[in-house]
Each structure stands twice: as structure tokens, then as C-alpha cells.
Amino acid sequence: MNHLDALPPWAAVLVGVLVLLGSGFAFTGSLGLLRLKDFYKRVHAPTLGTTLGAFFMLAGSILCFSVVHGRPIFYEILIGVFLTLTTPITLMMLVRAALYRNRVEEAQEPPRRTTLE
């Protein structure tokens, strides 16, 4: 027997919507990674899209297991906290490394700010 058999229909619909929203945002972030041409533009799409997608997925998971077990389950919030802490740090480290590489290889000035294409 599956634990999802005990999930009421209203919760199943809400969990399904949250999971679909999460996968949509993660897919959008992945498309941004493929579509944008410059590294400095590309670095933002996956961090923003996949983080928001992961939060919707976590909300769906928290709702599903809270309803199935009959009590609030919040330990999955730790995943969201770790994502919130590590994603901007990773973004800053990648951009700093790219800026350093550009300064050493090409010119001494950072790239000019351009508009999105």
C-alpha cells in the first residue's frame, strides 16, 4: 500500500499544483542557462529559477507528508534554509572567479553592463 492512498483529493490537487509550479520554475531556469549567451547573464537564471522551483517542490512535499502523517512536518525546511544560504554564495564565487579570469586574460576592467537580448 502506498502512503499517497491516504492523501485526500484536495491535498493531492494542491500538492500536484505545487510540484508542477516547482518543476516549471526549474525548467525556466534551465532554459535561461541554455538560451542566454553571456556568462554573467547565464549565472542568474539557474540560481533564481531553480531556487524558486525547489521552494515550491519543498512546499508540496511538506504539505503531502503533513497531511498523510496528521501532524506538521517542518524538518524539510532545513533544505530550503541550506538552499537560501548556499545559492547566493555560490553565485558570488562564480562571478568573482569569472571577473578575475577576465581581468587576467583580457583586460583590466570588468565587462560593461548591457541589456538583456
Give CA–CA dist 41/55, Å, rounded.
22
The three-state secondary structure class of 76 is: coil
What are the extents of the domains in the chain? Answer: 2-106
pLDDT in tens, 61-70: 999 989 988 8
pTM: 0.75
Q: What per-residue confidence (pLDDT) applies to 12?
A: 92
pLDDT in tens, 18-56: 999 999 998 988 888 888 888 877 887 777 787 888 899
Give CA–CA dist 46/39, Å, rounded.
12
Q: Name the residue among 51, 50, 49, 60 with its Cα closest to residue 20.
A: 60
Give CA–CA dist 96/90, Å, rounded.
10
Give CA–CA dist 20/56, Å, rounded.
8
Question: Which residues, 6 or more positions from 53, have their beta carbon under 8 angstroms from its beta carbon?
Answer: 21, 22, 23, 24, 25, 26, 27, 28, 29
pLDDT at 112 over 70: no
pLDDT in tens, 77-108: 898 888 888 888 888 898 888 888 888 777 65
| Residue pointed to by grid coordinates 531553480 | 50
C-alpha cell at 50: 531553480
Q: What per-residue confidence (pLDDT) applies to 95?
A: 87
Q: What per-residue confidence (pLDDT) applies to 19?
A: 95
Q: What per-residue confidence (pLDDT) applies to 10?
A: 93
Q: What per-residue confidence (pLDDT) applies to 21?
A: 95
